[in-house]
Amino acid sequence: MEKPNLKKNQEIELNIEDLSYEGKGVAKVDDFTLFVDNALPNETVKAVITRVNKNFGFARTLEVLKESPDRVHDIDAVYAQTGIAPLSHLKYDKQLEFKRNQVVTDFDKIGLKDVVVNKTLGMESPFNYRNKAQVPVRQVNGKLTTGFYRRRSHDLVPMENFLIQDPKIDAEILRVRDILRKYNVRGYDEKNQKGQIRTIMVRRAYFTGEMMIVLVSRTPDISHYKDITKEILDNPEVKSLFLNINSKNTNVIFGQKMTLLGGKKYIDDEILGHTYRISPRSFYQVNPVQTQNLYQMAIDKAELTGKENVVDAYSGIGTIGLSLADKAKHVTGIEVIEDAVKDADQNAKLNNITNADFVVGKTEDVLDEWAKNDISVDVLMVDPPRKGLASSLIDSLKNIKPEKIVYISCNPATLARDLSLLSDTYEIGDVTPVDMFPMTNHIESVTQLKLK
């Protein structure tokens, strides 16, 4: 392939052929691929080239010359340019189709041609769903400002309505911003490693309305922090306020030190009728409406009768295992983060669940031990991070042979890989994508596997 003579900042007319898994328009110049922000299949756009790599490049749409009927007009294009809502320029029913197609493509690539992929289970109202915000803070024109990063950058785009977050969270971010402004607290200056507040994190429990706020600061010495604490806690919905110190030049949001400034150390929420205690560092699903649908689907696919030993692997604070405990003989959760396991134990007690326990460890290590000791598992629920299952875990499963596996996946590519490796031992049921993250390119799905 001859690399065409393309340069950064060059303007060019492009025909968009496809949508990449990241939600960018795909265009070809000769055989060279360009990924184009804010461009949809079948569109012709005038674009500016933003980067040229060896084998592919990037561009940004300046003007849509021929428009797709799938394009949305009433949402500000700025959302598609930031990481908050990169698919918001595509009609919602087409987003759902795009996600299903992505699963089909990943399955085809690996040779899993016969698996049925159902329609994506979408939301009735696909905005304002997030129960958690992590908003970057910078000093802009001399003022502490909140917003979101432009895609692939750390440039702050000031923003007040975040489109996909609980509006009460958006309002709270502005209230906290104004309190910090009032006391002349400065936003973080990443380039010079100066200034203070890097991130405001807000969680709001969907069922109880309780809010938790974490201020992430570069340095611990915030002037007037007592007044600031008092004013933030003046909102009776704010039940918990932490200060986290992160002095490193890093993309990781939290630093080591987490200090309670006021209120309690956790907030409570409910999923499928159970109460959960959430700490600042706990993993907790961000879309409460779809979480219930996802969990219910996973529980239904487990087809429990009350006699099963169930393993909830990658259990977080125990939400899946505890949601199905009344339908099983016993539940064992496996989770690598010790604090999450403590929360899970606590959550079992809080809900008077006595047939569930949680162990700290890597799923692949714990189940390797179990395989060696002939410990039986009837049903295995797995909900791994994006990288999917360790190959050693797949080997152990071929020894343990659970009757059923329910695989909850947040990455169709690793799902396809893992299912393909398990397909000699397991019958692969249909896959249902569940839209946990409307307006973004993220794809969650549930699959049932039955022992052959």
Residue number, 44 or 134, with CB nearest to ligand SAH = 134
Q: Could you say whether residue 397 binds ligand SAH (CB under 6 A)?
A: no
383 annotated as ligand-binding: yes
Tell me: does residue 206 bind ligand SAH (CB under 6 A).
Answer: no
Minimum CB distance to ligand SAH, residue 123 (Å): 18
Least Cα distance to 304 among 331, 285, 271 occurs for 331
| Closest CA relative to residue 314, chosen from 245, 405, 251, 404 | 405
| CB hemisphere CA count around 285 (13 angstroms) | 27
314 annotated as belonging to a binding site for a ligand: yes
Residues 278-317: x where in contact with ligand SAH by CB under 6 A, - otherwise, as a string: -----x-x----------------------------xxx-
Quote the CA–CA distance of 132 and 143 in Å, as a whole number: 24
The closest alpha carbon to 321, from 333, 305, 338, 304, belongs to: 333
- Shortest separation between residue 339's beta carbon and ligand SAH, angstroms: 10
Length of the chain equals 452
Residue 372: count other Cβ atoms within 10 Å of its Cβ.
10
Q: Alpha carbon of 436 to those of 26, 207, 274, 386, 399: distances in Å?
A: 25, 18, 20, 14, 33
Question: Is 410 among the residues known to form the active site?
Answer: yes
Q: Which residue's CB is nearer to ligand SAH, number 329 or number 362?
A: 362
Report if residue 383 touches ligand SAH, rule: CB under 6 A.
yes
Kind plus residue range of the DSSP H or E element containing 365: helix 363-372
Residue whose CB is nearest to ligand SAH in the complex, by number: 316
Shortest distance, position 48 Cβ to ligand SAH, whole Å: 38
One symbol per residue from 332 to 371: x for binding ligand SAH (CB under 6 A), - otherwise; what is it? --xxxx--x---------------------xxx-------
Instruction: For the CB of residue 317, give the shortest distance to ligand SAH in the complex, in Å.
Output: 7
Q: Which member of 385, 391, 427, 430 binds ligand SAH (CB under 6 A)?
A: 385
Binding of ligand SAH at residue 272 (CB under 6 A)?
no
Dihedrals φ, ψ of 367, to 5°?
Answer: -75, -25
Interatomic CA distance for residues 359 and 426, integer angstroms: 26
If the CB atoms of residues 176 and 381 are measured against ligand SAH, the closer one turns out to be 381
Instruction: Examine residue 409 and tell whether it contacts ligand SAH (CB under 6 A).
Output: no
Phi first, then psi: give them for residue 26, nearest 5 degrees: -110, 125
Under the criterion CB under 6 A, does residue 382 sit at the interface with ligand SAH? no
Could you tell me the smallest distance in angstroms from the CB atom of residue 126 to ligand SAH?
A: 20
Count the Cβ atoms, other than its own, within 10 Å of residue 58. 20
Binding-site size, ligand SAH (CB under 6 A): 17
CA dihedral 337, 340, 346, 349 (to 10 degrees): -90
Give whichever of 258 and 337 is closer to ligand SAH, judged by the CB atom.
337
Q: What is the CA radius of gyration of the chain?
A: 24
How far is CA 365 from its chain centroid?
25
| Neighbouring C-alpha atoms within 13 Å toward the C-beta of 270 | 7
Site membership for ligand SAH, residue 246 (CB under 6 A): no
427 in a known ligand binding site: no
Q: Which segments are annotated as binding site for S-adenosyl-L-methionine?
A: 285, 314, 335, 383
* Enzyme catalytic residues: 410
Annotated binding site: 285, 314, 335, 383
Could you list the residues that contact ligand SAH (CB under 6 A)? 283, 285, 314-316, 319-320, 334-337, 340, 362-364, 383, 385
